[in-house]
Amino acid sequence: MPAGSSACTDIPSPAVLKQQITDAMKAAMKSGEKARLGVIRLILAAVKQREVDERIELDDTQVLAVLDKMIKQRRDSIEQYGNAGRDELAAAEAAEIDVIHEFMPTALSDDEIATIVAGAIAESGAESIRDMGKVMAIVKPQVQGRADVGKVSGLVKQKLG
């Protein structure tokens, strides 16, 4: 991959994603992309903070969860800045989301999500909404970082309800 493009196309094997982010940081340093470098450093700091807090080495699924959380935080900020008429701050948050998205795997299509949900319902033997936790436990690791978990949860409710 070229130095400027670090986009993931699929969930890589353990610890590969963190290395890709580190490599992207080095590339941004060399090319003098200060804004991009700042966002990448924020990503690595968030990953490191979670590793220190939990005293573990994060695998790629856990790094994706950190990235997912960072995107959600920035979307909330964009909404708040937009409501307050602070368009320049909203634009800065949107630019950060663009950089974070470079490290996310490709999004799942609605059909792929429906297939994963149907498989999880069959695998868990879920029959009613009371079994939603079992289904989500199977679905969540498969869609993490590749689909909005809230939307997926709504689909599970719809299928079970």
User: What superfamily does domain 16-101 belong to in CATH?
Assistant: Uncharacterised protein YqeY/AIM41, N-terminal domain (1.10.1510.10)
**Global confidence as pTM:** 0.75
Residue 151: C-alpha distances to residues 60, 72, 76, 108, 144 (Å):
22, 14, 17, 12, 12
Separation of alpha carbons 45 and 82, rounded Å = 27
Q: 3: Cβ–Cβ under 8 A, 6 or more apart, which residues?
A: 27, 30, 31
CATH 3.30.1360.30 for domain 110-160: no
Q: How confident is the model at residue 14 (pLDDT cuts 50, 70, 90)?
A: low
Residue ranges per domain, the chain? 16-101, 110-160
Q: How confident is the model at residue 6 (pLDDT cuts 50, 70, 90)?
A: very low
